[in-house]
Chain A
Amino acid sequence: MTAPLLSVDRLVRTYRMRAGMFGRPREVCAVDGVTLKINRGETLGLVGESGSGKSTTGRLVLGLENPDAGSVAFNGRRLPAMDTTEWRASRARMQMIFQDPLGALDRRLPIAAQVREPLDIHAVGDEALRTARVEELMRSVRLSDDVGQRYPHELSGGQRQRAVLARALATKPDFLVCDEPVSALDVSIQAQVVNLLIDLQAELDLTMLFISHDLRVVRQISRRVAVMYLGRVVELGSADDLFVSPQHPYTRALVSASPTPGARRGERIVLSGDPPNPAAKPAGCAFHPRCPSAFARCRTDAPALVEVAPDRSVACHLTGPESHATVALGAVA
């Protein structure tokens, strides 16, 4: 098998924050030992609720933040440290798309100028080539030429996100991190952008990390999906069957919480308890206070992510290798 384009090994990122003005500073572990591999031309989906660390993972992967521990290797080489010359050069090959296109665009520059900017920064080709490349990019994201002369506020949400995408693709990156790129868009426009991303990925052989809280969109666009909960990956598997047969109790609840038009299959699992708070992470398995099948061991030991079937890894004592004896116990408890 070929080496993965991106491999992330036991990444940890901790922030210090204060509770209130006079509160004692605390360590908040946003990403807690995340290991991922993404093969060339593949899209990995990353799902989870707010505070699960999915966006931080995206930023760490791009080297926009330095991890406290662990490493990121791109194309077999360790990512250069932030703000070095090598790091700046690597930016051309790795790009990011955010949720809010209006915030990502400069309001005072016409679209074409913004799409051109990365070409100027990375000194790609000459004047004529850059102009031609901008036209090509605008076409590839299905924006008409006149849009290039307009300003961000004159565009619709979908058009803006296309413009951001054109700019991200300007330097022909190999790898794209998309952080909730369609969450702010209306359903019909969302479908346009999702279709476009799928097409571009196939055309340009892009490798993507697609971060979203929307299971449907993630399934549509990804080949493999990782589910995060409080800084850890709790389940990893192929997009086709992860949501059909979720193994981790959290994934099960998440799938069941996704509302579906038409007939509902099976009982809805409504989790009790509050949304997870990264500043007050429970001991043991972080999910145990909300887990319907938690048993004694879950309160003390954090389960590791282990392969339970081909192309499926789960971090749960109920599905782990030494768990066969405890499964029955868990069901009773």
Chain B
Amino acid sequence: MLQPLVSLDGLTVAFNGVKVLDGISLSVGRGEAVGLVGESGSGKSVTWLAALGLLPKTSAVSGSVKLEGTEILGASPSTMDRVRGGRVAMIFQDPASALNPVLTIRRQVGESLALHRGLSGAAIHAEARRLLDLVGIPDAERRLSAYPHEFSGGQNQRIMIAMALAGNPDLLIADEPTTALDATIQAQILELIRRVRRETGMAIVLISHDLGVVAENCDRVAVMYAGRVVEEAPSAELFDDPRHPYAHGLIGSLPPIDGPRRRLTAIAGTVPDPKAMPQGCAFAPRCVHAAALCGTKPPRLRAVGENRRVACVIDQPVRATDIIGQAAE
């Protein structure tokens, strides 16, 4: 098999001795679009902050993060400076707070260009203009000298994408890039990301709580729960036939937009507190299929079929029809 672009292996993170990420193994191929879904606190964002060395020093990170076979976890700050922005770029949910309010767009986009591409002077200006054009900011020439507050939320996110693209990254980590935006603007930004990927062949990791966004934009999806990956599958297969009871519940929780209205299959209870994690499967206390075995030790992520992995001891895959209608309150 081809060497993956980035591969995480047994990535574990603890804050003050509390484990929040427990052995994440995940790989992203060249040009691939991988989705990461899960509820708040499941560790979606922490996974990538840890991988890129962006967590505070008080956190304990272990495991392995390889970029084209080279270990980057714990690499020197100068190495990481070249990786971040140059090889792997990241954009966040709130573009307004990620941009510096007192610097013009030219300065901010130019900074990445100088740092990662070694450009200077007129070359920066020309390239910054090209990038703004690329992300669909109208009248790019004039708006280079504008400040972030002069742009709308959607335009600021476009500028963030332009900055991320400045270093010609091989991978873009987009952490809830459209969550703060209105529906029609979200559609514009997702369309932009798709177009940029078509043109540059860049890989993407799309972190989102929105199953629909992930399903439409990713080839492969990993579902996270309480700091672990519980299921990984090609998008279409996951949504048609989720195997892990949590993935199942998550998809059942989504109200349909057409067809008959059915009662939502809410998952009973709440996400466990990382300080008081159940001994066995973290999902067992909320699982309608939980058996005695589930309480003993956390299930390993194991291969099911061709290209799917699931972390559940139940062998017989749960079928959609079993759970729908069996509303757990």
> Which residues of A come within 8 Å of B, CB atoms?
49-50, 142, 156, 158-159, 186-192, 194-195, 198, 213, 215-217, 219-220, 240, 243-244, 253-262, 264, 268-272, 274-275, 290
Contacts and interface: CB of A to CB of B under 8 A. Distances in A.
Interface in B312-329: 327, 329
Which 10 pairs of residues, A with B, have the shortest CB-CB distance? A259-B212, A261-B215, A191-B266, A191-B253, A257-B187, A220-B255, A49-B182, A261-B239, A186-B39, A191-B264
A257 B253 contact: no
B188 A220 contact: no
B154 A275 contact: yes
Contact of A257 (B184, B217, B270, B271): B184
A190 B253 contact: yes
Q: Among B185, B255, B261, B327, which residue has the most Cβ atoms of chain A within 10 A?
A: B255
Interface string B249-270: 1111111111001011111101
12 contacts: A156-B271, A158-B270, A192-B266, A192-B329, A195-B266, A213-B183, A216-B256, A243-B258, A258-B183, A259-B217, A262-B215, A275-B153
B155 interface: yes
Given A186-B209, A219-B255, 9 more contacts: A186-B271, A194-B264, A219-B256, A253-B187, A255-B257, A258-B183, A258-B257, A261-B212, A270-B188
B219 interface: no
Given A187-B250, A188-B267, A271 B188 contact: yes
Contact of B154 (A188, A215, A253, A274): A274
B59 interface: no
A195 B255 CA distance: 11
Given A219-B257, A257-B187, A271-B187, A262 B240 contact: yes
B239 A186 contact: no
B185 A259 contact: no
A274 B185 CA distance: 8
A166 B296 CA distance: 38
Contacts of A49: 182-185
Interface of B: 39-40, 152-155, 182-188, 190-191, 209-213, 215-217, 235-236, 239-240, 249-258, 261, 263-268, 270-271, 327, 329
A195 B329 contact: yes
Given A187-B250, A261-B212, A274-B154, A220 B264 contact: yes
B182 A213 contact: yes
B329 to A, nearest CB: 6
Q: Among A186, A192, A240, A261, which residue has the most Cβ atoms of chain B within 10 A?
A: A261
Nearest to A269: B187
B261 A220 contact: yes
B267 A268 contact: no
Contacts of B215: 259-262
Contacts of A191: 252-255, 264-267
A290 B154 CA distance: 15
Q: Among B210, B239, B253, B267, which residue has the most Cβ atoms of chain A within 10 A?
A: B253
Contacts of A259: 190, 210, 212-213, 215-217
A261 B329 CA distance: 24
A256 B187 contact: yes
Contacts of B213: 259
A260 B212 contact: yes
Given A188-B253, A215-B257, A261-B254, A275 B185 contact: yes
Contact of B266 (A156, A188, A272): A188
Contacts of B154: 274-275
A216 B187 contact: no
Contacts of B265: 191
Q: Among B185, B252, B266, which residue has the most Cβ atoms of chain A within 10 A?
A: B266
A65 B210 CA distance: 34
A187 B184 contact: no
A187 B235 CA distance: 18
Contacts of A269: 187
Given A192-B266, A271-B188, A274-B152, A264 B249 contact: no
Contacts of A253: 184, 187
B211 A195 contact: no
Contacts of A244: 258
A192 B190 CA distance: 29
Given A192-B266, A271-B188, A216 B255 contact: yes
B39 A188 contact: yes
